[in-house]
Amino acid sequence: MASIPRPTDEPHAHPHDHDHAHDGPYLATKGGIVATVIDWATTVDHKKIGVMYLFAVLFMFFLGGLAALAVRVELFEPTRTLEVYNAATGQSTTSVAGQVFAQSATDVAAGNQVYNRVFTLHGLIMVFLVIVPMVPASLGNFLLPLMLGAKDVAFPRLNLLSWYIYVVGSMFALVSALAGGVDTGWTFYTPYSTTTEPGHWKVVSMVAAAFILGFSSILTGLNFVVTVHKLRAPGQGWFDMPLFVWGMYGTAIIQVLATPVIGITLLLLILERLFLIGIFDPRLSGDPVLFQHFFWFYSHPVVYVMILPGMAIISEVIAIYSRKKVFGYRAVAFSSLAIAAISFIVWGHHLFTSEGEVAATVFSALTFLVALPSAVKVFNWIGTLYKGSIELTTGMWYALGFLFLFSIGGLTGLFLGALSVDLHLHDTYFVVAHFHYVMMGGTVIAFMAGLHMWWPKMFGRMYNESLGKLGFWLVFVGFNLTFFPQFIMGVQGMPRRYASYQDEYLIYHQLSTVGAFTLLAGFLVHLVNFAQSLLYGRKAPPNPWGGLTLEWTDADSPPTTHNFAQEPVITHGPYDFDDVYPPQAKPGEFTLPPPLPGRRVVTVATPHARSE
């Protein structure tokens, strides 16, 4: 996807076709500290907005992780009330063991309520503040215009507004958490959210946070749809776009169409709580199951807002580190749209235990249907890996880890889609494990793959590969040690959301807790690695991995303020590794597969081609 200089007298030249070669890196400071802060706070540069999202999401990921560790410490052993007889005084005293949130027998109920608030906080932060915006708002914002050959997104000011909406929503959530938090669960299920702590504002504040964050998703999705339709580089048709763009496009469609549903639902919940309007509360002639329908009509499509961007990343990572054309490009592209479409008609599988037999049967069949486009992607990724010139970088290790973990998450979802099995596994730790294998084993692991691959492009510095691989193995082992035992617990009947348990589950919970701290160690290794990269890392070349998409072939590392010196023109496909040598790369730097019979590898010159 290399470019050639575009003639300045071409009749359809864009207004920003003039030479931007004088632009400096987008990270260049604009004077003193105050001037730099103001510049970042008022920027409409998609790259800076993406970086601000990145660090905000990582900070929220840290807070959500702390809440998860608190939950795992609480569950390291079951709660026991101990009675100790003192022979000297002839009196007995009671104490509590195995509970970190209470220290006496009279505080067990209060401690359990604190536990409810902590796991609710973990879920709310991880879903609404981390996983939903993690890839689209950070990597998507940064990379989408670069991959399309555009100067920026279609609506730069709207992009900045979406960032500030995210900040305001986050502040509402944190204020509610600092005030003591809510114990409704991250789904805000009624009647919990309409009856707990009557008259208190904490639930309203937390619900308002999710309501506000929805507008950020809608604006980001709208921006991406218009950008893909209107700002592609000359010569870039729909099937010349990188698969990352296809994934972002499918994600954006879901964001625009599904998010208003949860917005209206949460607004109704706020109105019911404040003004006692009977919508969901049965005491006011409301229907709590109606809330579940509204909530999951949004939240099941939003599962794919979480995982589709991860799949989009994996398509890029596997192609680049395999140095091979993506197997079945169009099938992978259309499967992104198929997932987006089917995701709107499967919400009822969350309500198998509260809906009629006919509806449950229909939703069960649709649940199996949505697995097909995901299976197409996995099959095509494996086909791409087959006989590829694989380079086992940290990013590639994370991509391979994704294939393993997401496959487990997807296959266990088939069990939950079967009516007879789901009745047994419903609301057990099997569901918890399945959800985490899809969301963390899918989205977060894919995000780590993409972050490692695009880190040199974003910040212009290379990271330490040895530390990166150490971090991967700690994360991979820690993740499986945390969540695989939960499948076993779920099959044996361990219910979710309980602060204590019977002794037969002790070993599984302890393994999960050890795994959680192993996960923490892995992410701390990555934190140290990235910090070391920013401070002391080797300067990154424009194309360190030999990619053929526009962010590698036509942009510096880090990119300039206006992305490109001249508007790119597409001259080859994004994955033509079999007959195009990577521009901006030294000959012999990459291991290339032998040319196909009758074809030869050619080097495509670009205005940015370098000799170093």
Task: Please name each of the domains of the chain with its CATH number.
Answer: 50-76+119-536 (1.20.210.10)
pLDDT of residue 461: 95
> Which secondary-structure segment (H or E) carries 463?
none
> Which secondary-structure segment (H or E) carries 92?
strand 91-97
Q: For a pLDDT cut of 70, what percent of the chain falls above it?
A: 89
- Give the predicted TM-score (pTM) of the model: 0.90
Q: 576-590: string of b/e by CB count within 10 Å (b at 16+)?
A: bbeebbbbbbeeeeb
The predicted model gives 343-358 an average pLDDT of 88
DSSP notation for 225-241: HHHHHH-PPTT--GGGS
Of 121 and 21, more confident: 121
Widest pairwise Cα distance in the chain: 101
Residues forming beta bridges with residue 84, ordered by sequence position = 93
| Contact yes or no for 119/202 (Cβ under 8 A) | no
> Which secondary-structure segment (H or E) carries 86?
strand 80-86
Reported residue count of the chain is 612
Lowest model confidence (mean pLDDT) among 89-103, 244-258, 262-276, 536-550: 89-103
* Signed CA dihedral, 94, 510, 435, 479: sign only: positive
pLDDT of residue 100: 80
pLDDT of residue 453: 96
* Distance (Å, whole) CA 121 – CA 133: 17
The tens digit of pLDDT for each residue in 355-395 reads 888 999 999 999 999 889 999 999 999 999 998 889 999 99
Residue 565 has pLDDT above 90, yes or no: no
| Contact yes or no for 557/460 (Cβ under 8 A) | yes
* Distance (Å, whole) CA 571 – CA 378: 29
What letter represents residue 40's amino acid? W
Of 257 and 195, more confident: 257
pLDDT of residue 503: 92
- β-strand pairing of 602-603 with 580-581: parallel
Average pLDDT in the chain: 88
* Distance (Å, whole) CA 81 – CA 92: 12
| Contact yes or no for 59/173 (Cβ under 8 A) | no
The predicted model gives 107-123 an average pLDDT of 89
Reported as a pLDDT band with limits 50, 70 and 90, residue 488 is: very high
| Contact yes or no for 188/211 (Cβ under 8 A) | no
* Distance (Å, whole) CA 600 – CA 561: 36
CB burial class (10 A; 0-12, 13-18, 19+) of residue 170?
buried
The tens digit of pLDDT for each residue in 529-538 reads 999 999 999 9
| Contact yes or no for 231/203 (Cβ under 8 A) | no
